[in-house]
Copies of this chain bind each other. A is one copy, B any other.
Amino acid sequence: MLYLFKELFDKEELLSGRFGVEREGLRTTIEGKLAKTDHPAVFGDKLVNPYIITDFSESQVELITPALKTTEEVYHFLNALYDILALEIGEEYLWPQSMPCDIPDDAYIPIAKYGDSGPWREAREYRERLFKKYGGKKQLISGIHYNFSFDEILFERLYACQSLDISYKDFKDGLYLKVVRNYLRYGWLLVYLVGAAPMTHSSYRKDCTKHPERIGRDGFSNEGAISYRNGECGYKNDTDLFPDYTSVEAYIHSVEAFVKDNMIQSHKELYAQIRPKAKDNKNLLTSIAKQGIQYIELRSIDINPFDKAGISLEDLDFIHLFIIYLLLKEETNYTEWQQEALFNQKNIARLGQQDVRLQKNGEEISRIQWTLDILGEMKNICQTLNLGKEALIDSMLEKSLDATKTYAYQITEKAKEEGYIGAHLNLAKAYKQTAYTNRYKFEGYEDLELSTQILIKEAVKRGINTQIIDRSDNFIELSKGHITEYVKQATKTSKDSYMTMLMMENKTVTKKVLEKHHICVPKGIELTKGQNPALAIGQYEKRPLVVKPKSTNFGTGISIFPEGTSKEDIAKALEIGFKYDDTVLIEEFAKGKEYRFLVIGDEVAGILHRVPANVEGDGIHTITELVEIKNQDPLRGKGYKTPLEKIRLDSSSELFLKQRQLDFNYVPRSGEVVYLRENSNISTGGDSIDYTDSIPDKFKEIAIESARAVGAKFCGVDMMLEDYASETSSYSIIELNFNPAIHIHCFPYKGKERNIGEKVLKVLELL
């Protein structure tokens, strides 16, 4: 089979597949006790949100990635889900360990809350039955489920090149079942490599394992343990159950028999290390029978306390490689393999750090010897198929030979020093800090515009199905129930008409329409290329004015003369304008400062004012030093990857300071604000300041009316205000923008951070 693979597929094809991870975890208080609060309401209906739900307990979160094309994507998505969760659970933490935190007695363990009817009632009743049968504490054990499906093209091509007298479905089912059987046979190796639950807290059931020793202040363990979760203390059926994995029919038959014999309530209660999965997992058995196995779910992976995601990218990759190995590995005829597999698993779980003796086809073999065999075979596959993953296998080999490299050893050592609760809480605190630092972005989607990342983050949080349709275009699909909405660049949606955008794009039309609605706009005239501008120039000479092309959106080609200027300057400004459009506007200069009103739907979601790059003195540091200090703000970065840009002290700021008799070594007095350049663009280090709550409602209503005049649901209204704090201030609308950035309002330099993503979703009727 290996050589058939080599012949049929190239590396990309072999490594393609669909990956998804579910990560469970307990919410804890800042003392490491099980949280008694409700699952945050922001995540919506627990049966609907595809990303963030509860597991058994109300305090037990489950984070779910979609099926993604690479392990990298899965890893980032898991981190992103962590970031979202961490900032919505207040002072609580997500417990970074499969074995529970400090938990109360059963009577105080809150079962996940659901509604009283239909599927919600069922979900609750199911949990109540589990509670009765297994007790509450065991249900709080959390883990990683690793879902994987091969690329269909692999199976199709394999099937096509052989003349088999079975159907394609049976062929595919057969291969998946082979992986399942081999996973059971060799899964002990994964338990060793990624096992990370070698202890329990003193509040957990002490009787589940023999001779526990105290670890640190509050933990219990036994020498050499790898994974209590995968051992006797773990979550398993009352009796060891061995389903028949020879065919889909046999499998279905055996599981139905368990249910019939009252050993389990339903297929869901069969706690195997691996499960074949269906298109319709609610009716798993009938769905497998009909459409075949769609993917497999690996269930023996512990939460890695040392990784915020709960599993490292390296492990995600190794497990993928391991699955390919399992697909290729020929099977023996030894019949007692399931009992043997269970024995090996438990043995590794309890004492795996030692070189324990394992059973292989009825014969004894040491852990290390068998590991060398398996990893050797995997390396051979890698080389034959040219997969280029030798280094990864080597690092696993090292870990196998040196147990101090296991997560199990390392977390035990940490717990000895910091205590079981302390060690894990310290890790959780650091992860939560990262989540805060990451609040403006969505990990793994950093190539998208910030506004789009913010919207995706809010959508995922709210359980809205989110798909990237065109990555380079920031084009996404959001769906919930029967509503599907497409969004480009966060604010281009179906809620605005094409005409609305065209009206805003054309400054002449914008002005005409606003004037028709009795909204103040700067008075002005329009000049066409070729038209004699002499009359217009004469009329505007020495008057405060702005010259701008009719349809640019980013301030390009605009000249501003707040104090008025000469005929020659106006003529030059016109020349510049005509480079961008065949029509150029001359307008009177509106007095005051410019404010960006972000209108979303029927409200002003944020008001922002921008000021040029600047530093505030402390009487001690030079300008250069003050800039360095200001640039340390994690919201400041380079290349628009963050809401604010780092200030650069370049030749233009040098000149700007020189004109003011200053230089970079000047030490501003305490409280003295020194501006470093003329323009207030965020892209050149400018500051954004939120004014949403300081500007009178009157002007917000004018902004809303302006947007309404062009029929816009999403509109950046640029308003000049002579005195922002006064109801009686003069105002003038200088521009309407049809694709307003939202991130600047979400994460201003000063002032309140606004949740604009939520408002966008509301207008899209997805909330």
Listed in ascending order, the chain A residues whose CB lies under 8 Å from chain B are 10, 12, 469-470, 472-473, 475, 485-488, 492-503, 506, 508-509, 512, 528, 535, 550-551, 582-583, 711, 738
The answer on a CB contact under 8 Å between A494 and B583 is no
The answer on a CB contact under 8 Å between A508 and B12 is no
Q: A512: which B residues are within 8 A, CB to CB?
A: 469
**Can you pick out 22 interface pairs between chain A and chain B where the beta carbons lie within 8 Å of each other?**
A10-B535, A469-B508, A469-B509, A470-B506, A470-B509, A470-B583, A473-B508, A473-B551, A475-B506, A475-B509, A486-B503, A488-B502, A492-B502, A493-B497, A493-B498, A494-B497, A495-B497, A496-B498, A497-B497, A498-B498, A498-B500, A501-B501
A472 CB contact (under 8 Å) in B10, B475, B492, B528: B528
CB-based closest 6 A-B pairs: A494-B499, A494-B497, A496-B498, A498-B501, A470-B508, A488-B502
The answer on a CB contact under 8 Å between B508 and A500 is no
Bound together, the chains give a CA A86 to CA B5 distance in angstroms of: 77
Q: Given A469-B512, A470-B506, A509-B469, are A494 and B711 neighbors across the interface (CB < 8 Å)?
A: yes
- A213 → chain B closest CB, angstroms: 56
Bound together, the chains give a CA A488 to CA B493 distance in angstroms of: 20
The answer on a CB contact under 8 Å between A583 and B488 is no
Bound together, the chains give a CA A506 to CA B551 distance in angstroms of: 22
Q: Which residue of B lies closest to A497 (CB)?
A: B494
The answer on a CB contact under 8 Å between A499 and B492 is yes
Q: Which residue of B lies closest to A512 (CB)?
A: B469
Bound together, the chains give a CA A700 to CA B473 distance in angstroms of: 31
Bound together, the chains give a CA A475 to CA B710 distance in angstroms of: 14
Q: Which residue of B lies closest to A528 (CB)?
A: B472
A486 CB contact (under 8 Å) in B487, B492, B499: B499
- A245 → chain B closest CB, angstroms: 36
Bound together, the chains give a CA A736 to CA B492 distance in angstroms of: 19
Bound together, the chains give a CA A485 to CA B497 distance in angstroms of: 12
Candidate in A469, A470, A508 with the most chain B CB atoms within 10 angstroms: A470
The answer on a CB contact under 8 Å between B506 and A473 is yes
Q: A508: which B residues are within 8 A, CB to CB?
A: 469-470, 473
A509 CB contact (under 8 Å) in B486, B494, B528, B738: B486
Q: Which residue of B lies closest to A714 (CB)?
A: B498
Q: A506: which B residues are within 8 A, CB to CB?
A: 470, 473, 475
Bound together, the chains give a CA A508 to CA B550 distance in angstroms of: 31
Bound together, the chains give a CA A473 to CA B469 distance in angstroms of: 31
Q: A509: which B residues are within 8 A, CB to CB?
A: 469-470, 473, 475, 486
Q: A485: which B residues are within 8 A, CB to CB?
A: 499
Bound together, the chains give a CA A470 to CA B506 distance in angstroms of: 9
Q: A502: which B residues are within 8 A, CB to CB?
A: 475, 486, 488, 492
Extra contacts, 7 of them, besides A469-B509, A487-B499 (Cβ < 8 A), are: A10-B535, A12-B535, A469-B508, A470-B550, A486-B499, A492-B498, A496-B497
The answer on a CB contact under 8 Å between B503 and A498 is no
The answer on a CB contact under 8 Å between A499 and B488 is yes
Q: A12: which B residues are within 8 A, CB to CB?
A: 535
Q: Which residue of B lies closest to A529 (CB)?
A: B472
Q: A475: which B residues are within 8 A, CB to CB?
A: 502, 506, 509
- A468 → chain B closest CB, angstroms: 11
The answer on a CB contact under 8 Å between B583 and A472 is yes
- A657 → chain B closest CB, angstroms: 39
Candidate in A494, A502, A738 with the most chain B CB atoms within 10 angstroms: A502
